Structure 1
Amino acid sequence: MSDSERTAIGDDEREALLDRVNSQGATVGARVPDEIEVDGSPLDLSAFIVETRKVDSVPPAINRKVTAARESLRSERARRLDRLETEPVDRETAEALAEEVIGIDRALNALEGIRRPGFADEHHADTLAGHERWLAFVDQVR
């Protein structure tokens, strides 16, 4: 049965899916898709994220790739969300679109965290910097 032969979801179902996609906790427990089509080409998204997260510091060449991937993913998210919001789609297609949007959001969250250390690391660095400032002050007073 083709998409055009299936029954399109109703406004209530569409709204429920959009609420789910746009909820703050949508990505909790969500899985990054292994592969996603971006601009007509497959992207091994899961492997890309794993490889970029292994890097301690992000060199400029990798940073450009991460930035380009984020931009492409944002475009794909917008395209899928627009399709979910406006096109007549059946329940199966609508569910798949919602899961793809949530997976893209999860991937974007993972990519956003690549360049920034975690809160614990930031706190530790701030604490050390504070101690160093204090020791420098004590040395000046002596």
Structure 2
Amino acid sequence: MQGYQRKQLLERVGREGATVGASIPEEIDVQGESIDLRTFVFEIKRRETVPAGERDRVETAKRNLRRERRQRYQRLEEADISYEEGQELADAIVGLDRALEALESLGSADLNQEKQVQEAADQKRWMSFLKKALGHEEADSGTGRAGRFQ
């Protein structure tokens, strides 16, 4: 592969939005093990949130996919390969990125839900503080200022 060809492929892989329109590979070899990647991603994505029992499996898959991506990128960057092999590597890297984006977006759904719960708890604590500070909580219970000044 010529230097300019390698540079083009590396730029393609590193381009923001490279995954737009890209498809997740049907099957991929990760660490010597064949994985039905598309099926796995769609199975997990079908759920709105990742069940607690599946989180470890998803996190392990993301780590393995990141490692595989790094290895393939390094090979594309440094190995003495043909342009066709480089194109295949670039396609695979973009597909891995697409799968990782899909799996990462699951975490944001959990984070959004966690954020909403946290905000609701913060609001409840704030309202409780305001009631105490303004004396409304004590007046409601009959032992507040209103009871003392009568």
Higher relative contact order, structure no. (Cα contacts within 8 Å, ≥ 6 residues apart): 1
Deviation at 1:80, TM superposition (A): 0.4
Moved over 3 A (4+): 139-142
Aligned 8 A contact 2:30 2:68 in 1 = yes
Aligned to 1:25: 17
Shift of 1:90: 0.5
More helix by share: 2
Could you say which residue in structure 2 is the equivalent of 1:15?
Answer: 7
| Residue in 1 that maps onto 2:57 | 65
SS for the counterpart of 1:27 is coil
Any gaps of 5 or more consecutive residues in structure 1? 1-8
Deviation at 1:117, TM superposition (A): 2.4
Q: CA RMSD in A?
A: 2.5
Percent identity, please: 35
Q: Deviations over 1:8-37 (max 9, x none)?
A: x10000000000000001000000001110
Give the TM-score normalised by structure 2: 0.72
Which structure would you say has the larger Rg?
A: 2
Number of equivalenced pairs: 133
Unaligned runs of at least 5 residues, structure 2: 137-150
Q: What TM-score results when the alignment is normalised by the length of structure 1? A: 0.76
Deviation (angstroms), 1:55 = 4.5
